[in-house]
Amino acid sequence: MSIVSYQLIDNIGVIQLNNPPVNALSQALRQGLQQAITAAQNDSSQALVLICEGRTFIAGADISEFGKPPSSPSLGEMLTSIEDSQKPVIAAIHGTALGGGFETALACHYRCAAATAKVGLPEVKLGLLPGAGGTQRTPRLAGVEVALELITSGNPIGALQAEQAGLIDRVVDGDLLEGALAYARELVADAAPLRRVRDITIDTATVPAELFDNYKTKLARRARGQIAPLHIVSCVEAAVELPFEEGLKCERERFMECMQSTQSGAMRHMFFAEREAAKIKGLDRGTATREINSVAVIGGGTMGGGIAMNFANVGIPVKLLEISDEALQRGLGIIEKNYGITVSKGKLSETQKEHCLSLIDGTTNYDDLADVDLVIEAVFENLDIKKQVFSQLDSACKPGAILATNTSYQDVDLIAAATRRPADVIGLHFFSPANVMKLLEVVRGEKTSDEVIATTMKLAKTIRKVPVLSRVCYGFIGNRMLRHYAREAQLCLIEGSTPERIDTVMQNWGMAMGPLAVGDLAGMDIAYNARKALTDEQKGNPKTYCIPDALVEMGRLGQKSGAGYYNYDAKTRARSSDVGVIQLVEEKAAAQGVARREINDEEILNRLIFALINEGAKILEEGIAQRPGDIDVVYAFGYGFPVSRGGPMHYADTVGLQKVYDTLNQFHQQTGEAYWQPAALLEELVSAGKTFKEWAS
Ligand code: 3H9
């Protein structure tokens, strides 16, 4: 079937688009659609219906064309042809009409949609703003406040909500084409006017004073340095104050500025990296997958409970196994409490909560796991305990059941060796809180079968996670890199900085939280206890842990004890600094023979981020991660790395690998520490004048 086809059904011309997988507005599609509209002006049709084949209406401009030379017709030109049509054009929407796709619908004279359809302008999530009239037409139809919310959030809304907002004229039950044809015939019979959204004037009296300023203030806080959200507000403001054509010009200029920004480049990179990460190199696309209809989770602690919730949330029954009734009741209680919080936030109904809870069953007996399709072990981080659990699972579970470990560090191959079925063993590393965080590191052991890898990568999507495949090494992709980042945070602290300064530098740069505030949130006792089990040699340089050790020994475990690197208000949890902590840092520095000095913001930033990049490069050269983009996905979805910087490896490309390499060498010379020696891959890329991206493609 051609990309754009046309047929006359009685007096209605039907233009059908077919550009799988999501009907993106490629040049061929734009051209075909414009030609179809033009041709239809001269036939016997009295109205035109625009409808799409496949799973969705147009999901937006073709993002892969961005950054390439423009090709004619532009989206704007195509939309003008639609709006100029002398016959009413009716968009018939199913699936998701997003970005340029929804802008196309807005340029039509009328819009109908299936009840299940969603519409939205998600450009902000790509560091962009709607560049084909979206900022001008949306407020004209739905009012300024709805437009601001829709465009600055980027979140789509359902057809019914869109109908209430005036963005959709009719919600169609049953067959969409039939419904759209019936609607078109009605419009023809009523001699309905050509309703061109561009001709609507917004009544300024309906726009509250200060609205735009307030919005900008709110967004400046939330968007932390991103340019697109503030530009969106300015464009909507222009829709109110300027004639349509001038508003469009303002939108165009700002769209181009966003498009050329490194922020949007990074966010577009993340869009494709997320999708690429789900693909497994060397694995046949047709690899069989196993059905996962029931799951067991071993360990009802915070992690195990969170993992169980993921499955119950999508209707998969879960058995939660604990060693005693008491532990089990405590675990189930935590899950119930967590669901209660979600209900109180209005994100879940009481009925949905009850349904989820009914899917989670407790047991203390391994025999009850005989029939489950997948088991995820989430017990204490201790190899011997994990091996014991896997040996029990090997005896209890049916052949073909997948046995997964949620370990953050342990060797998946050694755990697999405790069973007689290492091909069925895999790591599924969830991030805390496991019911919230999107990242899932899927850790393939030496012997893990392709079928098990393919099944778990697919399952990740079912439970709405973003999976990234890793090979086995200490800490896998994310935590292995994090150790280097955390090390530099500690060294900057003891060498002269303060928790506030380090956290502020990193947060202003875009990290969701600073590294020391993260320590307080997670609880410093966890790492403290883990360190206790290590030899001095394994622990490494005392400068990297003497401060948190001392804080824990003072009872400052972090937020849960009301104090850690900071003090926390018991009610509001607001943090404040404590001179006692600075004194402690100074004492520890003196004890370690460190002469404290001024460390500037750039040094803090480069030491923390370049440490991540160098370890990331080593992870790539060892084949632990499949591609640089996968590391970026791990950091964006698991560690609060700013999407507008594109993850550590993309960021390295934007900084320039030569600069990264030179800075690493400088750190190496200054400190003499082997870990600052640039990774061999980095050296190779610098001498070849290549980026990580070029190396990967
Ligand atoms: C825009 O419109 C700008 C305009 O305002 C102005 C212009 C002047 N382009 O996500 P999936 C690919 S900006 C190119 O796995 P799902 C995707 O890479 C755009 N490719 O499916 C993947 O490829 P592969 C505003 C695209 O069912 C395949 O399609 N629009 C595009 O889970 C399937 O994707 C957006 O931001 C695209 N626009 O979700 C919407 N979209 O199979 C972006 C998808 O090779 N898209 N692909 O890996 C989405 O949010 C989701 O893809 C969607 C489907 C919800 C549509």
Residue 352 falls within a domain, yes or no?
Answer: yes
Residue 264 falls within a domain, yes or no?
Answer: no
Same-domain status, 209 and 329: no
Which of 63, 102, 268 to mutate to test ligand 1, by most ligand atoms within 8 A of the CB atom? 63
Residue 66 Cα to ligand 1 middle (Å):
13
Residue 74 falls within a domain, yes or no?
Answer: yes
Instruction: For 192-203, give the secondary structure using H, E and C.
Output: CCCCCHHHCCCC
Please tell me the residue having the least CA distance from ligand 1 atom 16.
22
Please tell me the residue having the least CA distance from ligand 1 atom 8.
131
Residue 444 falls within a domain, yes or no?
Answer: yes
Asked whether 564 lines ligand 1 (CB < 6 A), one says no
Catalytic residue, chosen from 53, 77, 83, 123, is 123
Same-domain status, 22 and 158: yes
**pTM summary value:** 0.94
Q: What is the largest CA-CA distance in the chain?
A: 90
Q: What sign for the dihedral angle of Cα 213, 219, 224, 226?
A: negative
Same-domain status, 463 and 501: no
Joined together, the tokens standing for residue 37 give 């509209």
Supply the range of the domain harboring residue 449. Answer: 295-474
Residues 529-561 have pLDDT tens digits of 888 888 888 888 999 999 999 999 999 999 999
Assess contact for 278 and 644: CB atoms under 8 A.
no
Q: d(Cα 610, Cα 8) in Å, to the nearest integer?
A: 61
pLDDT of 224 reads 77
Residue at a domain's end among 446, 474, 502: 474
Residue 21 Cα to ligand 1 middle (Å):
9
Q: d(Cα 534, Cα 527) in Å, to the nearest integer?
A: 11
Same-domain status, 495 and 413: no
Asked whether 71 lines ligand 1 (CB < 6 A), one says no
- Strand segments (E) across 281-380: 295-298, 318-321, 360-363, 374-377
Same-domain status, 495 and 536: yes
Residue 282 falls within a domain, yes or no?
Answer: no
pLDDT of 121 reads 98
Cα angle 616, 508, 678; round to 5: 25
Q: d(Cα 61, Cα 128) in Å, to the nearest integer?
A: 12
Same-domain status, 458 and 483: no
Residue at a domain's end among 554, 573, 591: 591
pLDDT of 655 reads 97
Assess contact for 577 and 500: CB atoms under 8 A.
yes
- Distances in Å between the Cα of 362 and the Cα atoms of 321, 337, 393, 432 are 6, 16, 16, 22
Q: d(Cα 63, Cα 126) in Å, to the nearest integer?
A: 9
Same-domain status, 20 and 137: yes
Closest CA to 695 of 635, 652, 647, 645: 652
Assess contact for 386 and 379: CB atoms under 8 A.
yes
Residue 62 Cα to ligand 1 middle (Å):
7
pLDDT of 45 reads 97
- Distances in Å between the Cα of 669 and the Cα atoms of 120, 598, 662, 676 are 52, 19, 11, 9
pLDDT of 29 reads 97
Same-domain status, 74 and 113: yes
Residue 442 falls within a domain, yes or no?
Answer: yes
DSSP secondary structure code for residue 442 in this structure: E
Specify the number of domains making up the chain: 3
Residue 388: CATH number of its domain: 3.40.50.720
Asked whether 59 lines ligand 1 (CB < 6 A), one says yes
Length of the chain: 697
Residue at a domain's end among 259, 284, 314: 259
Same-domain status, 336 and 461: yes
Please tell me the residue having the least CA distance from ligand 1 atom 56.
59
Residue 674 falls within a domain, yes or no?
Answer: no
Number of neighbouring beta carbons within 10 Å of residue 639? 23
pLDDT of 47 reads 98
DSSP secondary structure code for residue 91 in this structure: E
Q: d(Cα 261, Cα 650) in Å, to the nearest integer?
A: 14
Assess contact for 449 and 422: CB atoms under 8 A.
no
DSSP secondary structure code for residue 563 in this structure: B
Element (H, E) at 160: helix 159-165
Number of neighbouring beta carbons within 10 Å of residue 450? 16
Q: Where are the alpha helices (DSSP H) in 543-600?
A: 546-553, 579-591
Please tell me the residue having the least CA distance from ligand 1 atom 4.
100
Residue 652 falls within a domain, yes or no?
Answer: no
Write out residues in the chain with pLDDT < 50, as ranges. none
Joined together, the tokens standing for residue 112 give 């109908």
Residue 535 Cα to ligand 1 middle (Å):
50
Residue 33: CATH number of its domain: 3.90.226.10
Element (H, E) at 375: strand 374-377
Same-domain status, 485 and 467: no
Same-domain status, 546 and 570: yes
Residues 260-289 have pLDDT tens digits of 999 999 999 999 999 999 999 999 888 999
Let me know if 123 is a catalytic residue: yes
Same-domain status, 211 and 70: yes
Residue 541: CATH number of its domain: 1.10.1040.10
